[in-house]
Structure formats: structure tokens, C-alpha cells
Amino acid sequence: MFSTSPFHAVVYFISATIIYFVTKTIYRLYFHPLASFPGPKFAAATSLYNAYHDILGMGLVKDLPEWHAKYGPIIRIQPNEVHVADLDGFNQCAPK
């Protein structure tokens, strides 16, 4: 039924890993509770976007005003994180 050669085991492992990351990315972009918030899609899919800006760029904080001008007062900057520009934006997403 299944081959037990080391080559096939490696192929199965790589295939399963790719399927896992593709499924996780689709979930984060379309089915996550924060999927409705605007922002860069790569930032919504992975935390590597933040790491790239912090390590190689000037820092994510310096890009936030530009993103707020482009996307609005509430933006998604990581898969599990949103950034709010002002109190009016906070009042839109926080219950009273």
C-alpha cells in the first residue's frame, strides 16, 4: 500500500508540511476572526512580515502611519494583532 523507502518518507513529510502551511495561510486570510480587518495580506498571513521590517527595515512602527492612510483607522498588522490609529477607531471595535 505505502512504500517504506526513505525517499518516499521524505516526500510524504514535505508534502504534509506544504499542505499544512497552505491550509494555515488560507485560514488566516479568509476564515480567521480578524480576517475582516484591512491590511497587507502578507502581514495577515505570517509574522515574518513584522520580523522583516524590524530586522532589515526601519521598523514596523515607522510604516504604520502610511498603512493607516492607505487602509483606515484599524489595520491588521499580524495574524493575531490589529493596530488602532486613534480613539475613534478603538471605539469602533471595542464594546461599550
List the beta strands (DSSP E) in the chain: 74-78, 81-84
pLDDT, one tens digit per residue, over 3-40 is 678 888 899 999 999 999 999 999 999 999 999 999 99
Note the pLDDT tens digit of each residue in 67-76.
999 998 889 9
What is the Cα gyration radius of the chain?
18
Q: Could you read off the pLDDT of 41-66 as tens digits, one per residue?
A: 999 999 888 888 888 878 788 888 89
**Which pLDDT belongs to residue 95?**
58
Pull the grid cell for residue 26: 488560507
Contact between residue 82 and residue 43 where contact means Cβ atoms under 8 Å apart: no
Q: How far is CA 59 from the centre of its chain?
A: 17
